[in-house]
Chain A
């Protein structure tokens, strides 16, 4: 069974601070996605990384896929209250085209 561990589980920071969320596994994934989810809504895809060592930027968000495709990080610069939400990494899809979800990071950005 492929497992994805995210850290930290909870993170509360002040507006303007920087933060990094980590997603680690002992398994290799063909691709890795990052999602953001708000309460009562489905996850929304932020980015997909597929190549080891790949770095993608989405405004103030920087995503990196590890060289061995076993881990990933999400870095947010100058966090804003609108960044508050549950961040989920997900690896795959596997042979059944399903995703393996990380344990999640609940981010709260205080104004």
Chain B
């Protein structure tokens, strides 16, 4: 089946630095990928829709200058958390959808800002 992979699975960074998370579709092309944020035992919150070759669409309340999304190819989207702060610590998940109705999720990336 279709596979979506995220890297890194866990990252710790210092407050004020930036960190990049990658989301790759391994066996299909994805013109659109989605980035979610999740707090422990809570549901997924859609942050933005990543569009290949164009600007990402951000959900209301999500700072586009803080959460930079780049979708430079049909198999890769990146989320960069800029000037990270402890409150940005969270579980970040991406998803992508090949042809058909099934949406596949990455394994998620734990970000801890110290």
The reply on B26 being an interface residue by CB < 8 A is: no
A residues in contact with B107, CB < 8 Å = 41-42
In the complex, chain B residues 79-114 whose Cβ is within 8 Å of any chain A Cβ: 91, 93, 95, 97, 101-108, 110
B93 touches A98 (CB 8 A): no
**Stretch of B13-21, B40-48, B62-70 lying at the A interface:** B40-48
Minimum CB–CB distance for A17 against chain B, Å: 21
The reply on A48 being an interface residue by CB < 8 A is: yes
Minimum CB–CB distance for B106 against chain A, Å: 5
Minimum CB–CB distance for B28 against chain A, Å: 14
B residues in contact with A40, CB < 8 Å = 91, 108, 110
B residues in contact with A96, CB < 8 Å = 32, 49, 57
B residues in contact with A35, CB < 8 Å = 105
In the complex, chain A residues 16-30 whose Cβ is within 8 Å of any chain B Cβ: none
Q: Of all chain A residues, which has the CB nearest B60?
A: A1
Known pairs A93-B97, A98-B46; A43 contacts B105 (CB<8 A): yes
A residues in contact with B44, CB < 8 Å = 43, 88, 101
Q: Of all chain A residues, which has the CB nearest B41?
A: A106
B residues in contact with A102, CB < 8 Å = 43
Known pairs A41-B108, A42-B107; A101 contacts B101 (CB<8 A): no
A residues in contact with B93, CB < 8 Å = 42-43
A97 touches B97 (CB 8 A): yes
B residues in contact with A101, CB < 8 Å = 43-46
Instruction: Among A31, A42, A86, A98, point to the contact of B41 (Cβ < 8 A).
Output: A86
Q: List 10 A-B contacts (CB under 8 A).
A: A6-B43, A42-B4, A43-B105, A88-B44, A93-B97, A96-B32, A98-B34, A101-B43, A101-B45, A104-B43
Given contacts A39-B40, A48-B101, A99-B34, could you give 18 more A-B pairs where the C-beta distance is less than 8 Å? Answer: A6-B43, A31-B101, A35-B105, A40-B91, A40-B108, A41-B107, A42-B106, A42-B108, A43-B44, A44-B105, A45-B104, A86-B41, A99-B95, A101-B45, A102-B43, A103-B43, A104-B41, A104-B43
